[in-house]
Amino acid sequence: MRPVRFNDVVIVGLARDEAPETLSSQAIEEGLERVYERLRLPRGLLASLTGILRRRLYPPGFKPSQAAVRAAEKLLAETGFDRRRLDLLYSTSVGRDHAEPSTASIVQNRLDLGGQVKSLDIGSACLGFIDGLELAALALERDLAEHALVVAGENSRPVLEATLARLRDITDRAVFFRHFATLTLGSGGAAMILGRGRDYPGAPRLIGAVSRTDARANDLCRGDEGGMETDSPALLTAGVALAKATFDQGAASLGWTPSSFTRLISHQVSAANTRKLCQSLGLDEDILVKTYPDYGNIGPVAIPYTLDLEKGLIPPASRLLLMGIGSGLSCSMLEIFWP
């Protein structure tokens, strides 16, 4: 897909929902004490390798749609936005309530949105929210809609508990580390409303986006609610290479340079991924907002969640770069001007 420039799309508002329970990396390792002893793994390995100290969880049985709805209701309450003005709803979670119907239809019903709203699920692993923003922005640019709501909700409890149960019988280090990335997953919800700049002067503005894929790497991370297996070293190498190609495309088509941006808002994976990404792209790691130490990897929720946490601290007239990589592999980057 060719790079796209947006002329009249803005962020009307965004909000996050914080899962109520905290699970530390230390507590996870205490639950795997015998496994660590059997495989001769050092205590503190999870935090030292990933930089993740804790992650958050919803209660058992809590559905992705519930996290998305909670974030959306918070957004509607904070902004005073009339939900009857929405035209589009995209649910972008990795987790879904059911194989069918769409999670978006469940969110639409619980938010009591009218029949004028077109709703659907958009799935691209951890990249889903950026893809949802880009597709919604294109619809607004074509005057097919005036407002779009993009949501995501993740509850990592089921896959985390299934993985912990599986790891307790592991006797092979290699097998253990193929499941290791699952222990980084966190939970949360996020929602964002997009509108047209002509209706919201002074709102944060979407500038442009670029995307690239490397489908040859589609087998490096595969998972479902029952578990996830990841070739972490190969995934890191392939993901960073794809991100470099994507940023280079943005440089050629949108004029990006490593010093263009005030803040970097990325999909949060781990300390190693963050460091390698910034080094490869020549970006200043100090301006990348890090939420993974306290929230872990929340999948597609991570980018809007991080942006919402940071929004009160962004200097005026800032250029932001949203960056995401999804298993498959797909990579998208989206520039925002923050007035």
User: Is 126 noted as a catalytic residue in this protein?
Assistant: yes
Q: Superfamily for 202-338? A: Thiolase/Chalcone synthase (3.40.47.10)
H helices then E strands: how many in the chain? 12, 14
Structure tokens at 169: 């019988």
- Whose structure tokens read 């919402």? 308
Give the residue extent of every domain in the chain. Answer: 202-338
Considering the candidates 29, 126, 221, 278, report the single residue annotated as catalytic: 126
- Write down how long the chain is: 339
Q: Give the Å distances, CA to CA, from 65 to 11, 91, 185.
A: 22, 8, 18
The 10 Å Cβ neighbour count of residue 40 is 7
- Bridge partners (DSSP) of residue 16 are 190
What is the chain's pLDDT, residue by residue, as a tens digit (339 residues)? 899 999 999 999 999 999 999 999 999 999 999 999 999 999 999 999 999 999 999 999 999 999 999 999 999 999 999 999 999 999 999 999 998 999 999 999 999 998 999 999 999 989 999 999 999 999 999 999 999 999 999 999 999 999 999 999 999 999 999 999 999 999 999 999 999 999 999 999 999 999 999 999 898 888 887 788 888 899 999 999 999 999 999 999 999 999 999 999 999 999 999 999 999 999 999 999 999 999 999 999 999 999 999 999 999 999 999 999 999 899 999 999 999
Q: What is the pLDDT of residue 229?
A: 87
Q: What is the pLDDT of residue 224?
A: 80
Q: Are 178 and 167 in contact (CB under 8 A)?
A: no
- Within the chain, what is the greatest distance between any pair of CA atoms? 63
Q: What is the pLDDT of residue 251?
A: 97
Q: Give the Å distances, CA to CA, from 260 to 6, 209, 324, 332, 337.
A: 18, 15, 18, 17, 11
User: Is 221 noted as a catalytic residue in this protein?
Assistant: no
Structure tokens at 41: 């793994």
Which DSSP helix (H) or strand (E) runs through 54? strand 54-57
